[in-house]
A and B are shown apart, each in its own frame.
Chain A
Amino acid sequence: MAGETTPVPAADNRPAGAQAKAESRRAAPHTVPARDPHSLAESVRDAALAALLAGVLGFFFIGLRTDIAPGGLTITTRWTALVVAILVVFAGRLALNLFVFRTRRPVTGRLAAGAAAGAPQLATAAKWLMRGLFVFALVLPFFFITFVPGRDRQFIDLAILIMTYIMLGWGLNIVVGLAGLLDLGYVAFYAVGAYSFALLAQHFDLGFWMALPLAGVLAAMWGLILGFPVLRLRGDYLAIVTLAFGEIIRIVLLNWYQFTNGPDGISGIPKPTLFGLELKRGEGGFADVFGLAYDPIHRFIFLYYIIFVLALITNLVTIRLRKLPVGRAWEALREDEIACRSLGINTRNTKLTAFAIGAMFGGFAGSFFATRQGFISPESFTFLESAIILAIVVLGGLGSQIGVVIASVVMIGGIEMLRNIGFLSQVFGDGFDPVQYRMLIFGLAMVLIMVWRPRGLIATREPSVALKEKKKIGADLVAQGEGH
């Protein structure tokens, strides 16, 4: 796959024998005829190698399967599956070679050229897309009730889920996208928010709206507590320590049985009320007061608007903060920490505010999660959740607010849509359940999108400060997210 480069010989301090080896290598290029990498034969050869590799990798995993049987483990074989996998890899690699990698005019080249030419139009299109999305989000529950009355509850529930991830993504975007601090333990603040609300409701009988600000404050405090020790760390080290903190919080929640009820979790978390009105059936409920027929969908619509407003607040605060000194300090910190310090920016306070504000929004989202589910346990706050949120932020394009929305819709919505694809089970047989492939596809999408567009889907962003005229900054011009 990688082209062999001929090593340059001639060094006196090399061991004996190297000279002869180098001589033979020097002679080699003249004897081997140059191969044209664009030829069909080369494409097929390369695809065959990929298929061989797939066979080697899949042999013990697709071809064989170990199962627990009475009297020990047994091994079953699935050679057809292995052969199918090899053929799929061969065909896929061949198609990629013929159309993208090993052709003089790759298909993607034309796409890229078109995108570059249409960049200004793209910017206006993005602006209109943003407005369109906003209007759609505003009327979304009624849209689903009108157009898909049979499955409206399911779709609104999915919208709530996506909106939660958008909010989490926007919250994490402050830490990762703006301040450039790679946080792999963001789920800890989500957990703190959820548990704060659950415990406050359990012990002090507080409602959702009372507990929400408290949960935000508590999460922000934890943001400070966990942010303080890692001020000196940067890049990958910061990532791994925040991951460790996230895991520590989860393990403590799991084992501190007297306080958190351990793995059993906390149930019976109160539902939010609308100015004191409960969304319940019968006397004094929301439907009764407004003279409507009771419908459980009301509660879903209400929850949707709560998370919608919370997410909007997150977005507005972020946009405003970017224009304030602290927001500019964040972005300066992301680009170059040393330059920042030499210009007199207090990096400690700047980092801590980023951690605290990001954590606060995570705490809000956590409270909402608790009230929506009515039940929480440490199971919901694993590292995978952090990875998903980070993936949304990075794949959307660091620092891009609309990118987070697109990435959430694609990654969360797209994956959930898998459940509804009926024809797959006709193709693969009845036992085929697309849902179990969810995370596999998620991981693959993470790798592929990153390889395809390392800067994320939306790679340009509006400069927060402009001299005379606003220019678009290509993300490749700045050292994004390096934290120094």
Chain B
Amino acid sequence: MEYFVQQLINGLTLGSIYGLIAIGYTMVYGIIGMINFAHGDIFMISAFIALAVFLILTSVLGFAFLPVVLLIVLIVAMLFTSAWGWTVERLAYRPLRGSFRLAPLITAIGMSIVLQNFVQITQGARVKPLPPQIQGGVTLLEGMTENGPIAVQLSYMQMIIIVTTLVLMASFTLLISRTALGRAQRACEQDRKMAALLGINVDRTISLTFVMGAALAAVAGLMFLLLYGVIDFYIGFLAGIKAFTAAVLGGIGSLPGAMLGGLLIGLIEVFWSGYFTVEYKDVAAFSILAIVLIFLPSGLLGKPEVEKV
């Protein structure tokens, strides 16, 4: 029981990170109908930016008060990662708008290769370890198993991740449902041509969609850095695919779906590692992707796609 609760907490934490990345996939797919394959690498880029800002603030400038440092890191990482997201869209996707469907997918894969290798060359291929910054937590439950005593820990780090995700989700939902930008975004999602006729700057709306996705990925990147403490240039690939799986599982195009899918994928991965085998945890995620797409293509919360001849 205690083991189960502990895994549940771990799964929710991991799932929050996947969910934040998944929103970027789901929004882009919703608005231009393509898989932004480079999104996982945008997440990786953000983790590197966060690491660099953190090091500058703590070791070069000598700030010591952690909450302020983390807040600055978060804001700077979001800004700079947004610039990356915007540039990727501008260079690789916008020239191909209206081209045939495979074209942007190919440039997306190309961009993913470019970003990975760019970071590998400029920052080196070795992993970058960051010692844990936020330690301690509260003990929720204590119990006994056949292997000895077990305590369910909810660390402060996990609390921060879950709370930040909730706050971001709430504000993001408000942004999409209440502001002019959100309205423009939803209009473009429904019918780009009609939206353009009604005076919405479609190109700018799409750019802003990429910027928002990148900013949320930056939050996920910082959390990943703080939670695991180890990053390298390759973390984007697996995280990207799992987040995409989350977006598909929740129903692509649906924001609450992306979050729900992220949490489910996180839980599945953690429980699979906890109760079955660690080696095959990625196989579990990939299998879910295949199974969902084959049997439930519109996901849990998505709208079924109507095929018109």
Contact = CB atoms under 8 A, between A and B. Distances in A.
Contacts of B203: 2
Given A64-B52, A443-B110, A444-B114, A235 B101 contact: yes
B277 to A, nearest CB: 8
Contact of B59 (A60, A75, A442): A75
B179 to A, nearest CB: 10
Given A75-B59, A390-B109, A440-B118, A247 B286 contact: yes
Contact of B286 (A248, A480, A481): A248
Contacts of B105: 182, 236, 239
B159 interface: no
Interface of A is mostly: helix
Among A56, A230, A442, A450, chain B packs the most CB atoms within 10 A around the CB of A450
Interface residues on B, range: 35 or more
A240 B244 contact: yes
Interface in A402-448: 436-437, 439-440, 442-447
Contacts of A241: 289-290, 293-294
A117 interface: no
B253 to A, nearest CB: 13
Contacts of B120: 436
Interface in A36-91: 53, 56-57, 59-62, 64-68, 72-75
B241 interface: yes
Given A68-B126, A229-B290, A440-B114, A479 B100 contact: yes
A123 interface: no
A254 B129 CA distance: 26
A73 B128 contact: yes
Contacts of B90: 1
Contact of A444 (B95, B110, B286): B110
Interface in B202-219: 203-204, 207
Interface string B140-181: 000000000000000000000000000000000000000000
A75 B48 CA distance: 12
A454 B100 contact: yes
Contacts of A66: 48, 51-52, 55, 123, 128
Interface stretch (B3-11, B63-71, B80-88, B264-272): B80-88
Interface string B286-305: 11011001100100000000
A340 to B, nearest CB: 12
Most buried by A among B35, B80, B100, B113: B113
B124 A65 contact: yes
Given A247-B282, A480-B100, A447 B294 contact: no
Nearest to A228: B294
Nearest to B128: A66
Contacts of B48: 60-61, 66
B228 to A, nearest CB: 15
Interface string A328-340: 0000000000100
Contacts of A436: 120-121
Given A74-B59, A236-B105, A60 B114 contact: no
A377 B131 CA distance: 34
B105 to A, nearest CB: 6
A293 B55 CA distance: 64
B309 A338 contact: yes
Interface in A436-484: 436-437, 439-440, 442-447, 450-451, 454-455, 479-482
A384 interface: yes
A447 to B, nearest CB: 4
B1 interface: no
A446 B107 contact: yes
A209 interface: no
Interface stretch (A3-11, A162-170, A362-370): A3-11
A61 B53 CA distance: 11
B200 A7 contact: yes
Contacts of B95: 451
A439 B122 contact: no
Contacts of B309: 338
A302 to B, nearest CB: 34
Contacts, number: 193
Interface residues of A, number: 71
Contacts of B53: 60
A73 to B, nearest CB: 6
A361 to B, nearest CB: 21
Contacts of A245: 286, 290
Contacts of A247: 241, 282, 286
B126 A61 contact: no
Contact of A53 (B87, B103, B111, B286): B87
B286 to A, nearest CB: 4
Nearest to A242: B290
A447 B107 contact: yes
A215 interface: no
Interface in B235-272: 237, 241, 244, 248
Contacts of A442: 113
Contact of B130 (A67, A73, A480): A73
Interface in A167-210: 182
B139 interface: no
B136 to A, nearest CB: 20
B102 interface: yes
A148 interface: no
Contacts of A2: 201, 203-204, 207
A387 B107 CA distance: 11
A102 to B, nearest CB: 15
A294 interface: no
A390 B126 CA distance: 29
Interface in A231-275: 232-233, 235-237, 239-241, 243-245, 247-248, 251-252, 254-255
A390 B92 CA distance: 17
A394 interface: yes
18 contacts: A9-B199, A60-B52, A66-B123, A68-B129, A230-B290, A233-B294, A237-B297, A244-B289, A255-B279, A384-B113, A390-B109, A394-B102, A443-B110, A446-B107, A446-B110, A447-B110, A451-B107, A454-B96
Interface of B: 33-35, 45, 48-49, 51-53, 55-56, 59-60, 80, 83-84, 87, 90-92, 95-96, 99-103, 105-107, 109-114, 116-124, 126, 128-131, 198-201, 203-204, 207, 237, 241, 244, 248, 279-280, 282-283, 286-287, 289-290, 293-294, 297, 307, 309
- In the A-B complex, list the 5 residue pairs whose CB atoms are closest, starting with the nearest: A446-B110, A443-B113, A443-B114, A8-B199, A244-B286
